[in-house]
Amino acid sequence: MHPEPFLCQLNLVAIVVLVTIVCSLLFRKNNVKANVFLALLVFYVPLSIALNIVFLLFHQHRLLFLAPLNIGINLTFGPVLLCYIYLIQGKSITTVTRNVWHFVPSVIVLFSSTYYLLIPEQEQMRLLNQVIAGKEDFINGINLFLLLHIGFYLTIAWKKVAYYKHTATDLGVTETAVSVTWQRAFLSCIIVANILLLLAYVVPMLVTGEAHVYSDLIAAPVVAIGMYVFMIYKGLSYHVIYNKAEYKVFAEAVAPLNHFMEEVELLEKPQKQPKYGDDMHEKLEQLFMSQKIHTQPGLKLHDVAVLLRVSPAVLSAFINTHLKMTFFEMVNKYRVQEARRLLISPDCTSYKVEYIGELSGFNSRASFFSVFKKHVGKTPQVFKEEHAQ
């Protein structure tokens, strides 16, 4: 059984369009590492498609090793993704590249491909038929592991972007806004692509009880073309394809933020944690409950640190480790409490909901409604109407 000519043509088109993107990222004047790693991330898709086509088109048992080889290569996607996230945040990738554990699964699976080269030809033919039929347990298993592996790294990357965003907000660093928006959009694109590939693997198993090897020839080019459209539309609109001069300006602008994050991470380690005063929590409670400093729009971590006479890094580490939240989340918690009090207060019945949001410290109606609903489960307007009855 060979793939339909249309499927082969579709896959070849997908390869060409993505390789075009890869080349445009790699061969740039005054290029930077961030672009190179982005090119590597995009290149995984056409490489996988090419190996799939070669494996299925030639239908040769001697090419059976390409199946685990393809998966082994893709198991490096997670570490490369982390490297790109670090670079696009203006950080060093040393912490990722020095950790060899990131690459252990890939090495193991790549090494397993030699098994398919060394076994007798008759056994190769038998296993090839099983792979084509979707009945080869090892290949099915490492395919599923690959999807879970990518999902694991996507979760880590998403958390790092969220923490980066919250920390920048706490410190009032605005230079990261475009970069963070791009990072979230790029990760969302990969998540959608991963879900499509997972469905292409799982749905045939649920329907027929067997994996369908040709489903990749449909799902992969769909993902590739979708990624091409995304890279053209979003990559250019967010202006995150830097040259050396632009990246240097960006890295210098976010350097204080990254140094702060490194200091906080160091302070959060048990052996490095400073001895916080027993009254640190009490002082925070007093500032927020008695003095209601959270009602000040645009309250920053630095402002509270000055009032407590501690460094911003120490305060952030205390909030993260002892209160199990970020500074931004803590401030929003108190603002929601204040808003709830005002919404049901007899003295505020004539106040507009938006004005109560302003009195509580929110700087916009959108943020007030979004945060309030997240904490309470309903909008401020609904909450007020329910308690007015």
What pTM was estimated for this model as a whole? 0.81
**pLDDT score, position 2:** 54
Eight-state DSSP code of residue 234: I
250-264 mean pLDDT: 88
Q: What Å distances lie between residue 55 and 63, 123, 214, 215, 234, CA to CA?
A: 6, 17, 11, 14, 33
Tell me how far apart the alpha carbons of residues 168 and 258 are, in angstroms, rounded to a whole number: 9
* Higher pLDDT among residues 7 and 144, named by residue: 144
**pLDDT score, position 210:** 61
At 211 the three-state DSSP class reads coil
Label residue 222 by pLDDT band (50, 70, 90): confident
**pLDDT score, position 164:** 93
End-to-end CA distance of the chain: 70
Give the number of other Cβ atoms within 10 Å of residue 370's Cβ. 14
Question: Are 5-253 and 273-388 the same fold in CATH?
Answer: no
In Å, the largest CA–CA distance within the chain is 86
Q: Say if CB 342 and CB 359 are below 8 A apart.
A: yes
Average pLDDT, the chain: 86
Q: Say if CB 24 and CB 35 are below 8 A apart.
A: no
* Higher pLDDT among residues 215 and 251, named by residue: 251
Which one is the CATH code of 5-253: 1.20.1070, 1.20.1530, 1.10.443, 3.30.70? 1.20.1070
**pLDDT score, position 275:** 64
**269, pLDDT greater than 80:** no
The fraction of the chain above a pLDDT of 90, given in percent, is 33
Tell me how far apart the alpha carbons of residues 168 and 45 are, in angstroms, rounded to a whole number: 33
Tens-place pLDDT, residues 273-320: 566 655 788 888 888 988 999 998 888 888 888 888 888 888 888 888
**pLDDT score, position 280:** 81
The fraction of the chain above a pLDDT of 70, given in percent, is 92
Q: Which amino acid is at 25?
A: L
Label residue 4 by pLDDT band (50, 70, 90): low
Tens-place pLDDT, residues 172-218: 788 888 889 999 999 999 998 888 877 876 777 666 666 565 677 77
- Token look-up 């998966």 returns 71
At 29 the three-state DSSP class reads coil
18-38 mean pLDDT: 92
Tell me how far apart the alpha carbons of residues 96 and 99 are, in angstroms, rounded to a whole number: 6
Encoding tokens for residue 155? 């979760």
Give the number of other Cβ atoms within 10 Å of residue 175's Cβ. 15
Label residue 78 by pLDDT band (50, 70, 90): very high
- The CATH code belonging to domain 273-388 is 1.10.10.60
Tell me how far apart the alpha carbons of residues 134 and 202 are, in angstroms, rounded to a whole number: 11
**77, pLDDT greater than 80:** yes
Give the number of other Cβ atoms within 10 Å of residue 114's Cβ. 12
**pLDDT score, position 205:** 67
Q: Say if CB 213 and CB 7 are below 8 A apart.
A: no
Q: Say if CB 344 and CB 387 are below 8 A apart.
A: yes
Tell me how far apart the alpha carbons of residues 307 and 280 are, in angstroms, rounded to a whole number: 12
Parse the chain into domains and list their residue ranges. 5-253, 273-388
Tell me how far apart the alpha carbons of residues 280 and 356 are, in angstroms, rounded to a whole number: 29
